[in-house]
Amino acid sequence: MAFVVLLGTVAVLGIHALVLGRVPGSWLQRGVRALRLWGAGGPAVPASWYLRSPSVLVVGPGLPALGYTVKPTR
């Protein structure tokens, strides 16, 4: 049950960042550089669990990792 709640939280945070272009909480705002790229990976992580797709499983956590490392476009 806790795992499902965690996946749901990741998806909601990702959709929030993808749609609004910002992340909730000061601890996420300090570390994330590319908010929409980070947000695109949020729904991909639970989707990879649901679809049981190895390619989405690799891309899902990779997008938030890129959101932390790439320079912002503006």
In the predicted model, what is the mean pLDDT of the chain?
A: 83
What total of structural domains would you count in the chain?
Answer: 1
Mean pLDDT of 31-57: 84
pLDDT (mean) for 32-44: 85
Other CB atoms within 10 A of residue 53 CB: 14
Are 64 and 42 a contacting pair, CB within 8 Å?
Answer: yes
Q: Is 64 within the bounds of a domain?
A: yes
Q: What is the mean pLDDT of residues 3-20?
A: 85
**Residue at 30 is within a domain:** yes
Domain extent at residue 56: 11-69
Handedness of CA 9, 68, 18, 57 (dihedral sign): negative
- Asked if the structure places residue 4 within a domain, the reply is no
Task: Say what the pLDDT of residue 74 is.
Answer: 66
Residue 37 near residue 71 (C-beta atoms within 8 A): no
* CA 26 and chain centroid, separation: 16
| DSSP type of residue 71 | P
pLDDT of residue 73: 66
pTM of the predicted model as reported, rounded to 2 decimal places: 0.72
Residue 5 lies inside a defined structural domain of this protein: no
HSE-up of 64 (CA within 13 Å, CB side)? Answer: 20
Mean pLDDT of 23-38: 81
